Structure 1
Amino acid sequence: MTNATDSSPAGFRGWLRRVFGGPSAVYGLILYSALIAGVSDESTDSLEVLIVSFISLIIFFIAHVFAHTLSDHGDHGFWNALEGGVRESAGMLYAAIPSTLVLIVGATTHMDADDSVSLALLVATLVLGVLGYSAYARRGAGRFVRIVGAIGTAILGFAIMILNYAVH
């Protein structure tokens, strides 16, 4: 369990680090962004993109929890493994919140679907940058390395989103 053994600070800051500092947040955000890009086309509206993408993300989240529970229940028991799986995979859902909010605003204000999808993907890329900056900050890197790491994380994440979209 990657984040369960991590010595994060307590309180809200510790929760943020546990939820957004793990690989599931990065993976979930890239996956969700690729789903958003893949679902959107000329005939979809923001609400349809939101519903299909979010339901797909929930399915991937359940698959992550299932895989963790299955691989860990022999050592820790079913309920502990299930709890660990939910805790480890929660970042997938939390990292998707900003892009989801953009799609909700797009759907409720009748914003053009292309605009809300583009904005949701931009927000996801910015969140990836923040996650990259945070990861380098936790390692004690200087401000310049943090910024370069954030830019690199955002660019690499965006490239993976595009590759995933192109393949599917």
Structure 2
Amino acid sequence: MNYGFIELKHIKEKAEKICDCIGHGKNGTAVEMIIETAIAETGLGQIEDKTVGAGMGITQFDKLPFEDTRNRNKKLRPKILKELGVDIDLVEWDDLRYNDFLALLFTRLHYWLKGDPIPATIEERARYWKLHYNTKLGKGTVEHYLEMNKRYGVDL
């Protein structure tokens, strides 16, 4: 399964719009974090997803974290609806499959809930991704994050 057509030139634009609404983080690196996450997870949509029913969309968002993220973001809902035109109460997990904007939005919301500042360097963000996104139980490694971003990375 693929992710639909992804215009790489628009991914950064979408990530910036999302972060303009939710926040760029203490170090101003939230855009980089969510794009790098999509690169680490799917090569920014270039790697075919062979696990239907597991992680969804270009950021491979799992169902339980999706539900937790959607349910715990009450504070930002009015702002997201006003500025981004998305009622997150109506978004379903499967909607992330072919909608890169929603996948990036929920990835940003997921990191926003963590409370820890998004790090300044890609090496630190790789560790942050492993701790807060891929988790200890996930198959990903810091080295994987860095290698994927080297191979599929976009010029941020």
Structure richer in helix, relative to its length: 1
User: Do Structure 1 and Structure 2 share a fold, with TM-score over 0.5?
Assistant: no
TM-score normalised according to structure 2 size: 0.27
TM-score normalised according to structure 1 size: 0.26
